[in-house]
Structure 1
Amino acid sequence: MRILLVGAGGFIGRHLQAALHAAGHQVVATARQPDPGTSGEWLALDLAELARDPHAFAWPAGVELLINAAGLLSTDRARLDEVQHLGACALFELAAAQGARVLQISALGAEDDPDTAFLASKAAAERHLLGLGIAAVVLRPSLVLGPGAASSRWLLRLSPWPWTPLLDNRARLQPLHIDDLCAAVLALLERWPVQPCSLALVGPEALTMGQIVDRLRAAQGWGPGHYWTLPRPLALAGAWLGERCGWRALNRQTLRLARSDNLAAAEPLAEACGYRCLPLAARLHDWPQATDSAALIVQPLLLALLVVVWLGTALACLGPGFDWSLRILAEAGIAGWPARLAVIAGALLDGALGIGLLCTRWRRRALQAQVALMLGYTLLISILLPHYWFDPLQGIGKNLVLLAVSLWLLWLQPLPARTRR
């Protein structure tokens, strides 16, 4: 079957694309700006642009099925409405005009008069699709876990800690692995429902957030953890701050979702296509890995320590350590205004590196500059002041550790994308 997969650059879309290819389907994947180096057939599609201009996308020839896996983790109501509602509806209209079937990947909770912008935009798109009178299925998954998911990444960050704060540990949800979502989609393609319908896609277990983290801990060889709920004033303050800082994991929307049950029956999907999700623990074999979870904790911790080192060095050189720095330069034969200028310039450069590490868009360049600067410092000291290698505190030797940490953090930084999907 020739399938148009919208949102193929996202977590669900990437896994769906691989599963559909493996099942022998021909997939036309879409992205806002496809990377020319990516394998497979790709087309440019921006749902926000489609919402403004329904003629902005040319329907590919021969497509029999549209799968819309596009979504935004955002609190921007206007943006969500543009992409998840109006853009999706324009896409459904194109599919209807071409006589294609539609499978909409929605979200569990979109059917219950939702009070969050994310679910409300999904619900509006669902109503429009099911009102078109075409062959359509709305699939509403619960929390989907797996490698590459933003929610999974945050849960993995929590999993190594034996004592963990949670937004809520009473609300229950029925998580599933991404492999179950892909398998359910393939089952629906084999047994398409006769009438347009919406189907919940849920795991067989109703779990609290603490129990979900415990499943992830067990898969990594750790015992059950201990969990406590953030006091409401602290959670509200964090949500307020998260909205202003653009945090996807903590804002008023995620706080509201975290405190509500998200449950549904698995029988309608089983009756429609014969598929039932496996318990979460049955899917956790090669993922998650303890080393990956530890890296998610160590990486921000090391970044924070490097920021402290560089900003602290800058403040020390410009403050109480200024004369000390001049004495060190005097040992290398540099004195007077050139020495003072060198100390001030070096301090400002150290401060700029610390600030650069704080900003995501500058971090990769800052780490590269940091590695070059430490190599330069080490080389100059080795030539001009070699006796500092014999310092009992090993100030220069410890630079080698910082150099290794900087290289590791640099390798973990994503390469600059030529395009955004």
Structure 2
Amino acid sequence: MNILLVGASGFVGRHLLNALAANGHQIIATSRRCGSVSVPGVAWQTLDLGLLADNPEHFQWPENTELLINAAGLLSVSSDELDRVQSRGTCALFDLAAKHGARVLQISALGAGEQPDIPFLETKAVADQYLLGLGSPVVILRPSLLLGAGGASSGWLSRLSPLPLIALLDLNAQSQPLHIDDFVGAVLALLRSWPTQPMVLPVVGPQPMTLPQVIDQLRDAQGWAPARYMKVSAPLAGVGVLLGDQFGWRALNKQSLKMAGRDNLGDPEPLASICGYRALPLASRLIGWPQAGQSVTLALRPIFLAVMILIWLGTAAVCLGPGYEWGLRIMSEAGITGGLARLAVISGALLDGVLGLGLLATRWRRLALRTQLGLMLGYTAFITVVLPHYWFDPYAAVAKNLVLIVVTLWLLWTEPRK
């Protein structure tokens, strides 16, 4: 079958792309950045649904396309952006499919149409309703929480899983999570048994679970005992939501707070009756992911990064404040006095501060880490030659540089490459 797969570089799209190609389908894949996932025999085109919303000529429909699969989605705190991409842009895409007589498989979200106060779900619902009104042969899948390697939600849960005490926004709301392999299996089964009438089908796991139960299953798969859980207090959650909405945090914002406190359940029987597919219990799918080493890395990175930021910014503040005279005394021990000593202390403190701020910005982080490595090695070499007695400090102030160098190397090596 000739398939146009939109959103092929996303979590769901990547898994569908590999499975569809392996099953012999001819795929034209799209993403905002063309060819971001390399799969032999797959042709790539650039498609930005945000641009398509305002310009229907933005995308040239591929000839002989029999089926459109829309796996595109947007995690955003901006209602306008969600409307442009998930509503208007997606509806424009559906118009193109209807114009060319193609079937449509829309990947929506469980809860769409039932929670109008959540822009992510409401914009999905608007596109779903528009598609149903076109009279085309369509299937709308509304999956529950999808878990597996490479997913944004999966990454957050994997990051939380090593912690012995885990703070969550809610401890009681239930969902029916399923592994991404089961979702892909459901799609393949539908392609073999396409319904004769337009359908809206929930795709859910067989077991309703709270988020602590989900995380405990992830912990068990990694060889850890169940964790302890606590609910984030309302005032603290409120502060986090305000910051999340301001800075565009995907994991903590007004939408995520609302969704975290609500059950999100569905019936697996309609899907099974159409194509015979049933998702397996989540625990039976947790093979190869998550992995303890990767989860620990995810958990430790933000902690180490926060500590390093505090160290560099704190050093700058101390050297310009209460430690200024101490810094001058150290310079004096090295034979540097007067204006040159003051310049050395002040410029060193300012450089420390700039490097601490550099860790906050993703685009500058790798450069900041490399510069910090060079600076620490330089400081250590200078002290070793000029002030060697500092190596015998009972508090091991210089020796602790070695630990910071190792942590900085680890952060540099594990920093994601864009």
| TM-score grouping bracket, smaller chain normalisation | over 0.9
- 1:259-301 CA distance string (max 9 Å, x none): 1111111011011111110000000011111222222221111
Stretches of 4+ aligned residues off by more than 6 angstroms: none
Residues 62-141 of structure 1: matches in 2 within 5 Å? 62-112=64-114, 114-141=116-143
TM-score (norm 1): 0.94
Residue 14 (str. 1) matches residue 17 (str. 2) = no
For residue 136 of structure 1, report the CA deviation from its aligned partner.
1.0
The residue identity in structure 1 corresponding to 2:196 is V
Percent identity between the aligned chains?
59
Residues 353-372 of structure 1: matches in 2 within 5 Å? 353-372=355-374
Q: Which of residues 24, 40, 43 is equivalent to 1:41?
A: 43
The residue identity in structure 2 corresponding to 1:244 is Q
What SS does the aligned partner of 2:58 have? Answer: coil
What SS does the aligned partner of 2:398 have? Answer: helix
Corresponding residue for 1:310?
Answer: 312
CA RMSD of aligned residues (A): 1.8
For residue 110 of structure 1, report the CA deviation from its aligned partner.
0.8
What SS does the aligned partner of 1:147 have? Answer: coil
Report the CA distance shift for 1:140/1:37 in structure 2 as closer, same or farther (over 3 A): closer
Structure 1, 308-317 or 125-134: larger mean CA deviation: 308-317
The residue identity in structure 2 corresponding to 1:403 is I
What SS does the aligned partner of 1:59 have? Answer: coil
For residue 254 of structure 1, report the CA deviation from its aligned partner.
1.1
The residue identity in structure 1 corresponding to 2:209 is L
What SS does the aligned partner of 2:27 have? Answer: strand
For residue 38 of structure 1, report the CA deviation from its aligned partner.
4.2
For residue 387 of structure 1, report the CA deviation from its aligned partner.
4.1
Residue 225 (str. 1) matches residue 245 (str. 2) = no
Cα distance in structure 2, aligned partners of 1:186 and 1:37: 20
Corresponding residue for 1:3?
Answer: 3
The residue identity in structure 1 corresponding to 2:88 is L
For residue 152 of structure 1, report the CA deviation from its aligned partner.
1.4
For residue 383 of structure 1, report the CA deviation from its aligned partner.
3.5
Cα distance in structure 2, aligned partners of 1:37 and 1:234: 39
The residue identity in structure 2 corresponding to 1:263 is L
Report the CA distance shift for 1:108/1:368 in structure 2 as closer, same or farther (over 3 A): same
Q: Which of residues 174, 177, 185 is equivalent to 1:175?
A: 177
What SS does the aligned partner of 1:395 have? Answer: coil
For residue 365 of structure 1, report the CA deviation from its aligned partner.
2.0
Structure 1, 249-258 or 50-59: larger mean CA deviation: 249-258
What SS does the aligned partner of 1:181 have? Answer: helix
Cα distance in structure 2, aligned partners of 1:37 and 1:79: 25
The residue identity in structure 2 corresponding to 1:32 is R
Report the CA distance shift for 1:233/1:308 in structure 2 as closer, same or farther (over 3 A): closer
What SS does the aligned partner of 2:59 have? Answer: coil
Cα distance in structure 1, aligned partners of 2:190 and 2:224: 37
Residues 317-332 of structure 1: matches in 2 within 5 Å? 317-332=319-334
What SS does the aligned partner of 1:103 have? Answer: strand
Flag structure 1 segments of 5+ consecutive residues without an equivalent.
Answer: 417-421
Corresponding residue for 1:26?
Answer: 26
Cα distance in structure 2, aligned partners of 1:145 and 1:289: 13
The residue identity in structure 1 corresponding to 2:257 is L
For residue 130 of structure 1, report the CA deviation from its aligned partner.
1.2
Aligned residues: 416
For residue 381 of structure 1, report the CA deviation from its aligned partner.
2.8
Cα distance in structure 2, aligned partners of 1:38 and 1:391: 55
What SS does the aligned partner of 2:225 have? Answer: coil
For residue 164 of structure 1, report the CA deviation from its aligned partner.
2.1
Q: Which of residues 220, 231, 238 is equivalent to 1:236?
A: 238
**Higher relative contact order (Cα pairs below 8 Å, separated by 6+ residues):** 1
Cα distance in structure 2, aligned partners of 1:109 and 1:224: 29
The residue identity in structure 1 corresponding to 2:280 is L
Structure 1, 96-105 or 384-393: larger mean CA deviation: 384-393
Report the CA distance shift for 1:281/1:414 in structure 2 as closer, same or farther (over 3 A): same
Cα distance in structure 2, aligned partners of 1:76 and 1:183: 33
For residue 206 of structure 1, report the CA deviation from its aligned partner.
0.5
Cα distance in structure 1, aligned partners of 2:78 and 2:248: 10
Cα distance in structure 1, aligned partners of 2:263 and 2:35: 39
Residues 151-230 of structure 1: matches in 2 within 5 Å? 151-230=153-232
Structure 1, 214-223 or 236-245: larger mean CA deviation: 236-245
For residue 331 of structure 1, report the CA deviation from its aligned partner.
3.2
For residue 374 of structure 1, report the CA deviation from its aligned partner.
1.4
Residue 403 (str. 1) matches residue 411 (str. 2) = no
Cα distance in structure 2, aligned partners of 1:37 and 1:6: 13
Contact conserved, 2:9 with 2:37, CA < 8 A, in 1? no
Residues 332-347 of structure 1: matches in 2 within 5 Å? 332-347=334-349
For residue 145 of structure 1, report the CA deviation from its aligned partner.
0.8
For residue 73 of structure 1, report the CA deviation from its aligned partner.
1.1
Report the CA distance shift for 1:230/1:330 in structure 2 as closer, same or farther (over 3 A): closer
- 1:9-67 CA distance string (max 9 Å, x none): 21111111111122222221111122578454211111011010111100122322111
The residue identity in structure 1 corresponding to 2:188 is L
The residue identity in structure 2 corresponding to 1:110 is A
Cα distance in structure 2, aligned partners of 1:36 and 1:119: 27
TM-score (norm 2): 0.95
